[in-house]
A and B are shown apart, each in its own frame.
Chain A
Amino acid sequence: MKKQDLIEEIKNVMQREKNLTLEMELKDIEEWDSLTVVGIAALYDKFMGIKIEINDINKCKTISDIVKLAGDKVY
């Protein structure tokens, strides 16, 4: 999956109108909440077949950290 497409999907999970950038800090994103975290886990499973732990998402600080969880599945 392309990095930009993944960011777009993450934006959809957040139901966010404004664009996301890799540098953005999750704590500054209004739509970021526990249901978004679960939604991201489901997104990685659905689109890339990756099972990620909720804890791993909770450790992320930025959008870039979340994208990194996809490893070499994003390019």
Chain B
Amino acid sequence: MIKFTENDLFLVTGASSGIGKSIVLKINKLGGKVIGVARNRERLDSIKNLLTHPANYYTEVKNLTEDMGNLDKWVMEISIKYGKLKGLVLSAGNQQILPMNALDLEQAKEIFDINYFCNIMLAKGFCDRRINIGEGSSIIFISSVASITGNAGIINYSASKGAINSAVRSMAIEVAKQKIRVNSILPGLVKTELFEKWKEFYTKEYIEQMNKKYPLGIGSPEYISDMCCFLISENAKWITGQCFVVDGGISLTVG
């Protein structure tokens, strides 16, 4: 049984929707304190009705790609404001469906900014001895099963997630002596607000097709937050530098 206390403070990015939102709700339900970070105040506030312990939820409106180079200092400001952090969950990210013939360098870099560089700078901030609690602290990167499988139109997106998987291993070694654990989760297709945003791509037919293709059907954000809460808990204290596939079995299928 995973349990957090009010002394367990977590910073979660991408908190207002999808997987990030589900992680905020679950940490809160399990008794931990969460600082949710997202760009949109309204959406961050809208979560409040769904929380088990609303008093243990704080919000920070932040566009992470603005002043990316100083995100480490921003994490320090957060820690001064709220206290030392036990965990950092990096769920902010963007999807990009762009075939090679439409690949544009600037757009490609933007995806790396939000999916990779922002997360690395936030992780840098978190790993500062003055910011985390030391033993018991950990970082979770939300990667994607797209980083280990192939699909048309997501060359750059999958590469940005693959970069995370590689970074996790070396980061885990570098911060192990501080007793910080670092892991990533590679979700398969889960039904989130991105379905709405990309509805030209996520057509009803496509979703039905995917539901058949996924051995266990397409997923729900809760399947990812369950794994996340395990990994940031004491139950996972000997697990670091790993990339966990949580994908309903899709990465096992061929064709």
Which A residues are within 8 Å of any B CB, using their own CB? 15-17, 31, 35
- In the complex, what residues of A have CB within 8 A of residue B128's CB? 15
Contact yes or no, B129 A31, CB < 8 A: yes
B174 at the interface (CB under 8 A from A): yes
Chain B 118-145 interface 0/1 with A at a Cβ cutoff of 8 Å (1 = within): 0000000000111000000000000000
9 smallest CB-CB distances across A and B, nearest first, come from A15-B129, A15-B128, A17-B130, A15-B130, A31-B129, A35-B174, A17-B129, A16-B129, A16-B130
Which B residues are within 8 Å of any A CB, using their own CB? 128-130, 174
Whole-angstrom CA separation of A16 from B130 in the bound complex: 7
Kindly report which residue of chain A lies nearest to residue B178, judged by CB atoms: A15
Taking chain A's interface residues, is the majority helix, strand, or loop, or is none over half, making it mixed?
loop
Whole-angstrom CA separation of A31 from B129 in the bound complex: 9
- In the complex, what residues of A have CB within 8 A of residue B174's CB? 35
- In the complex, what residues of B have CB within 8 A of residue A35's CB? 174
How near does chain B come to A75, taking the closest CB pair, in angstroms? 25
Whole-angstrom CA separation of A15 from B130 in the bound complex: 6
Whole-angstrom CA separation of A35 from B175 in the bound complex: 11
How near does chain A come to B75, taking the closest CB pair, in angstroms? 12
A selection of 9 A-B contacts at a CB cut-off of 8 Å is: A15-B128, A15-B129, A15-B130, A16-B129, A16-B130, A17-B129, A17-B130, A31-B129, A35-B174
- In the complex, what residues of B have CB within 8 A of residue A16's CB? 129-130
Most buried by B among A15, A16, A17, A35: A15
- In the complex, what residues of A have CB within 8 A of residue B130's CB? 15-17
